[in-house]
């Protein structure tokens, strides 16, 4: 199949032989740099896939699950700790961009607005951003700030992948409903502008959805 051939081309045969399968696009990711303000962002060059979501939604865990690493992106028991935009280089040369989690209640209003400003500026102005992965806790569904972020990004016609995380905490029927509800909410809010979205039930705990998410991201990077 064409897609497989393209993904496999960027791999050393020894790597495929070692792990016995074609690695996902985030496997082998390496930390490159962090930026606390727009002026510190690396020069636009590599294509970027950004990960965003409410604090504690499971963004770091999702990045780690996709990278098959336990601690590439730092998970934290203190929500709201990630304040920087972190850049990771993939084997393909593209970058994964871990955006600060938003919506954490226990920080000052000014601080919250400063982080959100950084996030919104990045998402609306970064020309090398090819797609956005939005992390949503499956039990909570889309939050107002998620919708705001989507409204900053979707009109650009670039694709969005929504990972409905912690799906292991729901039973199968509840999980399907959570995914359908997110689909419905995005369609209602954005209509045709939401055509480029995918929604996948995801769990960093059980790896549910990991290979489906790999396939979507590999397609973006083709």
Q: Within a 10 A sphere around the Cβ of 207, how many other Cβ atoms?
A: 13
Site for ligand GDP in 180-209 (CB under 6 A): 203-205
Q: Tell me if residue 11 falls in helix, strand or coil.
A: coil
- Minimum CB separation of residue 187 from ligand GDP in Å reads 25
Contacts of 181 (CB under 8 A, 6+ apart): 141
The window from 10-18, 55-63, 85-93, 188-196 that contacts ligand GDP (CB under 6 A) reads 55-63
Residue holding tokens 């990278």? 67
- Residue where the block lists tokens 């601080």: 111
* By the rule CB under 6 A, 101 interacts with ligand GDP: yes
Tell the smallest beta-carbon distance from residue 165 to ligand GDP (Å).
5
Query: Nearest CA to 60 among 36, 33, 94, 84?
Result: 84
Two tokens, residue 180: 């359908």
What is the separation of C-alpha 139 from the centre of its chain, rounded to a whole number of angstroms? 18
**Contact region for ligand GDP (CB under 6 A) — 1-9, 32-40, 124-132, 164-172?**
164-172
- Interaction with ligand GDP in 121-160: which residues (CB under 6 A)? 135
Residue 215 exposure: Cα atoms within 13 Å on the Cβ side: 8
Site string for ligand GDP, 21-40 (x = CB under 6 A): --------------------
- Which of 166, 213, 214, 221 is the binder for ligand GDP (CB under 6 A)? 166
* Placement of tokens 């002026």 in the chain: 39
Q: Is 60 in the site for ligand GDP (CB under 6 A)?
A: yes
Judged by CB, which is closer to ligand GDP: 7, or 200? 200
CB of 137 to ligand GDP, least distance (A): 8
Size of the site for ligand GDP (CB under 6 A): 20
Tell me how far, at minimum, the Cβ of 60 lies from ligand GDP, in Å.
3
- Does 78 engage in binding with ligand GDP (CB under 6 A)? no
Sheet of strand 95-98, all strands in order from the earlier edge strand to the far edge: 30-35, 85-89, 95-98, 48-53, 129-137, 160-165, 197-201
Rounded-to-10 torsion of CA 151, 155, 159, 161 = 10
Query: Where on the chain is the footprint of ligand GDP (CB under 6 A)?
Result: 53, 55-61, 75-76, 79, 101, 135, 165-166, 168-169, 203-205
């Amino acid at each position: 199949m064409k897609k497989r051939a393209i993904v496999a081309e960027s791999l050393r045969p020894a790597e495929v032989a070692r792990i016995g399968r074609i690695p996902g696009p985030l496997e082998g990711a390496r930390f490159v740099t962090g930026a606390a303000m727009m002026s510190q962002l690396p020069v636009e060059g590599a294509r970027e896939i950004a990960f965003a979501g409410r604090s504690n939604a499971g963004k770091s865990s999702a990045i780690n699950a996709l990278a098959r690493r336990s601690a590439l992106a730092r998970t934290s028991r203190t929500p709201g700790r990630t304040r920087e935009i972190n850049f990771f280089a993939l084997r393909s040369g593209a970058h994964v961009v871990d955006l600060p989690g938003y919506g954490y209640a226990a920080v000052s209003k000014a601080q919250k607005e400063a982080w959100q400003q950084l996030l919104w500026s990045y998402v609306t102005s970064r020309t090398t951003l090819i797609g956005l992965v939005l992390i949503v806790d499956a039990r909570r569904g889309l939050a107002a700030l998620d919708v705001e972020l989507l409204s900053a990004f979707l009109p650009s016609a670039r694709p969005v992948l929504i990972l409905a995380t912690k799906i292991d905490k729901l039973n199968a029927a509840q999980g399907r409903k959570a995914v359908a509800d997110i689909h419905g909410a995005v369609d209602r809010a954005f209509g045709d502008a939401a055509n480029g979205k995918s929604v996948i039930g995801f769990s960093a705990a059980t790896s549910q959805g990991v290979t489906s998410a790999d396939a979507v991201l590999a397609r973006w990077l083709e």
